[in-house]
Amino acid sequence: MPADSLLKDLHIAVTRPVDQAQSLCDAIQHHGGTAILFPLIAVAPLPDYHLFEQQLSQLETTDWAIFISSNAVDYAMPRVLKKFGSVPEHLKFAAIGHQTAKALSLYGIHNVLIPHTRFDSETLLALSEMQNVADMTIAIFRGTGGRELMTDTLKSRGANVYFAESYCRVNPQSDSKLLSKQWQQGKLDAVVVTSSEAMRHLLQMAGESLWLRHVTLCVNHERIAELPRQLGLKVLVATAPGDDAMLECLSQLAKNHD
């Protein structure tokens, strides 16, 4: 099958935030598919940064700053630099993956600890640098809410952990009628979901909708696949994060489609 027809005749909804969805949407179109932008996560600034500013005051006695996402970098680092003038010299940095590390590099932070295989909390926590952290102080930069695995694990290893939450996430959709309509018209084959939070939004909005049982949910981590599998839905898991792996995952649908 020629590269430009890899996803021929497939209609694929992409639920990433708008600013993170474009590259995958472009790739889907390039390979002959139709991309439907349906963001289930939107990032917004906090209504009040008073608590965040208080948390930043602890950085002078913090050993590690762990950034969970590039959004955490974008919303936190300007305030860090405004408060301190420059990055505290003693502070070590870790990031959940390459994109987050790249975002940190734009602020002059280049020596960043990142996982080498999968880019998630579990893989970062498995690194040797995250093992002997007893009596260290660790800041986790993230949005409001989220998983507690990282803080629970680091605390169990003796670290003092606090959150520096610099943004919030909201669901910009009020219902899933657009996807239902697309399916009824024969124009929805798959939905790409790349976060557990987006998956929860999707399942909550769709409920018992018939269309949900006839499309394939394409995800990029086994953790995201757990809930829809429990509900008996069709799920494919990409072998790695990133657009290339997701395109490979979607290509399996094209083969079945043929």
pTM of the model: 0.74
Q: What is the pLDDT of residues 230-246, one digit of tens each?
A: 999 999 999 887 889 99
Six-digit token pair at 83? 């408060």
Instruction: Tell me: do 56 and 33 sit in the same domain.
Output: no
Q: Over range 186-197, report the average pLDDT.
A: 94
pLDDT the model gives residue 121: 85
Q: Over range 195-201, report the average pLDDT.
A: 93
C-beta neighbour count of 88 within 10 angstroms: 14
Give the pLDDT band (50/70/90) at residue 77: very high
pLDDT the model gives residue 257: 64
- Comparing 51-55, 146-150, 153-157, 232-236, the range with the smallest average pLDDT is 146-150
Instruction: List the CATH number of the domain containing 253.
Output: 3.40.50.10090
Instruction: Tell me: do 117 and 219 sit in the same domain.
Output: no
Instruction: Tell me: do 149 and 76 sit in the same domain.
Output: yes
Q: In what order do the strands lie in the sheet with 92-95?
A: 42-45, 160-170, 137-143, 64-67, 92-95, 112-113
Q: Please, where are the H alpha helices in 112-241?
A: 121-125, 149-156, 177-184, 196-206, 222-230
Q: Over range 58-68, report the average pLDDT.
A: 96
Of 129, 149, 169, the one marking the end of a domain is: 169
Instruction: Tell me: do 24 and 73 sit in the same domain.
Output: no
Residue-number span of the structural domain to which 119 is assigned? 45-169
Of 169, 190, 225, the one marking the end of a domain is: 169
Report the mean per-residue pLDDT for the chain: 92
Q: What is the pLDDT of residues 133-144, one digit of tens each?
A: 999 999 999 998
Instruction: Tell me: do 54 and 161 sit in the same domain.
Output: yes
Q: Which residue has the higher pLDDT, 99 or 61?
A: 61
Of 169, 203, 228, the one marking the end of a domain is: 169
Instruction: Tell me: do 165 and 149 sit in the same domain.
Output: yes
Instruction: Tell me: do 13 and 93 sit in the same domain.
Output: no
How many domains are there within the chain?
A: 2
Instruction: Tell me: do 54 and 164 sit in the same domain.
Output: yes
Instruction: Tell me: do 77 and 121 sit in the same domain.
Output: yes
